[in-house]
Structures are given as C-alpha cells and as structure tokens.
A and B are shown apart, each in its own frame.
Chain A
Amino acid sequence: MSTLIPAHGSEPSSGRQLKITVQDLDYRRGTGGETRPLLGPVSFEVQGGEFLAVVGPPGSGKTVLLKLLAGTLHPSGGTILIEGKEYRPPVRDFGLVLDSPALLPWRTTMQNILLQAEIRGLQMEVCRNRARRLLAWFGLSGLEDRRPHELPPGAGQGISICRALVHAPSLLLMDQPFRMLESLILERMLDAFQRLWVETRSTAILCTSNLEEAVLLGDRVVVLSPRPGRILQIVSIELPRPRRLDRTMTPLIADYCNTIRTFFRAQGVLP
C-alpha cells in the first residue's frame, strides 16, 4: 500500500508541499455602505506539509475562508501568499473536497475521478492506475463502473476525495467533507484518510464543525469565533500519528476537544 503515493517519474505529482501565509484576510458581503463582514480579518500561516484544521460555529466563515483559498471568492482585504508569492486565483495546483460529493450523474465512478485528469490534460493511464489504488485504499474497489445513483451510502464522498487526490496535488482543501456521513462510515473514512495523508504529507486545510475530527486530523487547529469569524486560538495537537479512536488515544483527543470547547464557552457558542 505504501507504493500508493511516492511519485514515480511518470506520475502526475508535483510532490511539493506548499507553504501558505494568510495576512489580514477579510471578507464582507455587499457593496457600498452596507456591507456585512463574514470573516476576519484573520492571519495565520500553514507550513509546507502541515495539516491545518479550522473549527468554528456555523456562520463563522469557515466555508468563506476555504472559498477564498480556492479562489471561488475574492477577498475584500488582506492577502494570501503561497510560497511567499501573492496568490492570484488561477493558481490551481490543489484538490478540492466539498460537503457534497458533486459527482456528475452521467459518469461512472472512474470517469468522475478521471474528470480531474481530463481537464488537466494528464496521462490517462497513469491517473487511472492511481485512481484504482486510491479507491482500493478507501475500500471502494469494485465500484469503478457504477454511476452515482447506484452507489452505496457514503461512497460518494470517498470518491470525491479520490477525485481531489488523483493528480497528487500539493495542496488539499476540504470544506466539511465528512459532514453528511454516518458515524461508523465517518470513522472508517477518517482512519483511511489519515493514513493516506501520512503517506503524502501534502499541505492540507480542513474546515469542520466537528471538534473530534479536527483534533484527529489536524497538526494545528484554528478556532474561529462566531460571525464575523476571527481567530480565537490556534491549538497545536501534539499527538503521534496515525491517530486512532482507541483506548489510549481517545482520552487525549477528548482533552484537546475540551480545551477547544473552553474557547467556545467563553464566546457563548456552547453553554
């Protein structure tokens, strides 16, 4: 399985780990006098190969932050630097996972994943093999030729993650990707995803409202305040990987979750 990621010469992998610097980023909706701040200003840094989790209550601008990074929204102020250079939206060496799988209903699983390769103009055979290995990693082998309406529950999101990784991106952006999953499927998916990430160590940013998920996956967890989202605290998670919800790890994870909860309590988000 460890052959999954190391890029052979022909593999469509940049193998880079992007460092991202966000300075005074803010986003407000509306024009002219009546603007409503949705996010920030926020400043933080993501090291190359770091997994950053962002947690916040609904309305804290987690999704806005991710869309700003993905270039689907344009910031009202502040800058995003990638490797020290200012980010201009058509820099697209990233993989994107949203809270819905957004698979094309007329394409099979494999065709959906390979859309990434088709649009980027990558070598199809290389990507097809990679897609197969990714599907196997998530326990989704055998679903290659099914269309989205024929998939078992929860499989769509796994496929959507495979699609985001098939071109071995140097940055992975995830917007509440596990939000709609049932908890057992979620646990299995988190485990598979974490082991995979440990292999690749691409820079990753995950937005979520699930504290356990954030602590399990994140090297650091950014805690956002209610609207407009500002950074309350950045918590470093000093736990060895792979992290599992087992007997020794679960209490430690719960401790971190409680630490984060205290910030939310101070804001009145939690009682």
Chain B
Amino acid sequence: MGADQGHAFSGSRERRTGTLLGRGPLQAASLLLLGEFLVRSLHIRPSILPSPSRLLLEIWRQAPELLHHASATATASLAGMVLALAAGFVYAAMTVFSNRADEISGPVISVLQRIPWIVLAPLLVVWLGFGKPPAAAVAFLMCFFPCAVLLKAGLHSMPVETLEIADSMGADRAAIFRKIRLPACIPYITIALKLSVSVSFAGAAAAEFVGSDAGIGYLMQYSGARADTTGVLAALSLLVFMVLLLHSGILLGERLCIHWPADIRLSASSHTPDRSCPADSGRESTCQP
C-alpha cells in the first residue's frame, strides 16, 4: 500500500517528467523506511506513534472493517462533491446567460464563501439525522463555493477578442457557450475536481466525528476515545489513500483531455466586458493628443 500511496503522491511530478510512475514509489518507500528506523531507534512507544510496519500490519488485519468504513465516507463525500460541482456549474452558467443574476448573486456568493462550513456539522446532524446525509451535506457546502467561483472564472476565461471574433461569425450565446466557453472551462473543471476531492473527504469525515455510526471519521473518533493510536492512524491512512487515489485519477484524466497549455487565471469577479465600453480603451487612452 505504501508503494501505491507513493504513486498517487507523485502525480504532479509525473506531469513534469512525463513518465507514468515517476520516482514516487521509491520516495514513498524510503520515507517509510526512514520512519521505521526513527521510531525503532528512538524507542517510541506504539501508543504514541506506531512504526510504519505496525501500522501496515494493523491495516492488513482490519482490512474488511476499514473498507466498510471507507466506503461509507467515500459515498458521502463523492455524493456531496458531485452535487457541488453540478450546482457550481449551473451557477456559473447562469452568470454567463444573465448579467442581472450575476450582479445579484455575486456579492452573496462572496460572503457565503467565507463561512467555515465545517463548523456547521453538528447542526446538520440535528437537521438531517445520523450517518451519510449530514456528511454529504458538509462535503457539498465545503465544495460548492470554490467550485462555483472556479467554474465561473473558467466560463469567463477567454479574451474579449475571442468573443468579438465569435460575434462576427454570428454566434449566439448558446453557440459561444458550446464552442468557446465550455472547452475553455475544462482546465478549471479539473482544478475544481482536485480541490473538491480533498475538501469533500475532510468535510465528510468531520461530520462523521459528530454523528455517525460508520465512516472513517467515526472510526477515528472511536479509536481515539480508546487511545488506540494505531487504529486512528490506520483510518487516517485509508482516508489519505482514497484522496490521493482520486487525485491521481483526475491527473490522468487531465492529461488525456487537455492537450493545450492551459492558462489559468483566477479572479473573484471576471465579468464579460460591458458592451458599451470599448475594449481598446486602455490601449487608446494612454496616448492623449
């Protein structure tokens, strides 16, 4: 498992070196060996920090139970994440088709975005009951706002000239959306996915701390209460492993469908320039007669 983890971790390096596996597995293995060496040579008690070998053994022994909890967390966080992406996309598309909706919702979104939604977990458990629904809801709330902002930036990420050219071809809003905005948004979708994966798993686990009888969060809480350090770390490792696995899956997808150097620009409010304001004003106004 350590090697697999290393593989997932090496995602960003892969892109640069262009090899499929990269040096990830080697690095992960050496890290594990270093950990093993340190824990043993410093005589750290397992109740404080178990050695990597002890941890791997624990994961192996508890595998069926761990997998059960992992699947509960994965279901909740993926559900929340997918819903957040879909809702974020609907919001972003709405800002393209209606300037008015954009003007009204913009400030609201930017305020709501700043709420630390994770602290709402106890309340959501009260509202939505025990188990997966509150976990999915926390994941959704934590993912939605970054996704909305990112996808909106993506749908608005082309230079004015591109839109003017499309205009000269007689393209209507729907055609511009299909042919220009949507493809331009793809790199932003992959960023939103990468961000959502880690955020949604964290959110779901936090909700499980509060009220659940299954899931990685529940397991960590339960083991922690019994001072079972190895159990906590085993659950945590599985959470990290799932996030890294999904992350590397996204990187793979990214490499398969983005063939151009994507120029990512993030700005909180990227509106399409107003039609009544000449796009060249900046250039022309610098030279007064």
Q: Are B289 and A226 in contact (CB under 8 A)?
A: yes
* Among candidates A92, A100, A105, residue contacting B168 with C-beta atoms closer than 8 Å: A92
**Known A90-B170, A104-B180; contact A63-B280, beta-carbon cutoff 8 A:** yes
Instruction: Pick from B161, B175, B179: contact of A98, CB below 8 A.
Output: B161
Residues of A that sit less than 8 Å from B by CB: 29, 38, 57-59, 61, 63-64, 67, 70-74, 90, 92, 94-96, 98, 100, 102, 104-106, 115-116, 118-120, 147-149, 160, 163-164, 173, 226-227, 267-269
**Complex partner residue of B278 from A29, A57, A94, CB under 8 angstroms:** A29
Determine the residue in chain A with the shortest Cβ distance to B285. Answer: A59
Inter-subunit contact B161/A147 (CB<8 Å): no
Q: Is there contact, CB below 8 Å, between A119 and B164?
A: no
B165 touches A57 (CB 8 A): no
In the complex, chain B residues 247-267 whose Cβ is within 8 Å of any chain A Cβ? 258-263
A-B pairs with beta carbons under 8 A, tally: 106
**Which B residues are closer than 8 A to A by beta carbons?**
159, 161-162, 164-171, 175, 179-180, 183-184, 186, 258-263, 275-281, 283-289
Nearest Cβ distance between residue B139 and chain A, in whole angstroms?
Answer: 31
A153 and B276 CA atoms in complex are apart in Å by 33
CB distance from A114 to the nearest CB of B (A): 11
Chain A residues closer than 8 Å to B186, beta-carbon distance: 106
Question: Do residues A119 and B285 form an inter-chain contact, with CB atoms below 8 A?
Answer: no
- Give bound CA distance, A163 to B260, whole Å: 20
Quick one: given A38-B278, A72-B167, A102-B159, are A118 and B287 in contact (CB under 8 Å)?
no
Q: How far is the CA of A35 from the CA of B176 in the complex (A)?
A: 32
Q: Give the residues in chain B near A74, CB-CB below 8 Å.
A: 275-276
Assess the A105–B275 pair: CB atoms within 8 A: no
- Knowing A38-B278, A59-B284, A74-B276 are in contact, say whether A92-B165 is a contact too (CB < 8 A): no
- A103, closest chain B residue (CB): B162
Are A73 and B278 in contact, with the CB atoms below 8 A?
yes
CA of A64 to CA of B263, assembled, Å: 28
With contacts A102-B159, A119-B166 known, what are 8 further pairs, Cβ within 8 A?
A57-B287, A64-B284, A67-B279, A73-B275, A92-B168, A98-B161, A102-B165, A105-B261
Q: Which residues of chain B have C-beta atoms less than 8 A from A63's C-beta?
A: 278, 280, 283-284
Alpha-carbon distance between A94 and B258 when the two chains are bound, in angstroms: 32
Per the bound structure, the CA–CA distance linking A92 and B175 in Å amounts to 15
Expressed in whole angstroms, the minimum distance between the Cβ of B98 and any Cβ of chain A is: 20
Residue of B nearest to A101 (CB): B161
Contacting residues, chain A, for B277 (C-beta < 8 A): 29
Decide: A94 and B168 in contact? CB cutoff 8 A.
Answer: yes
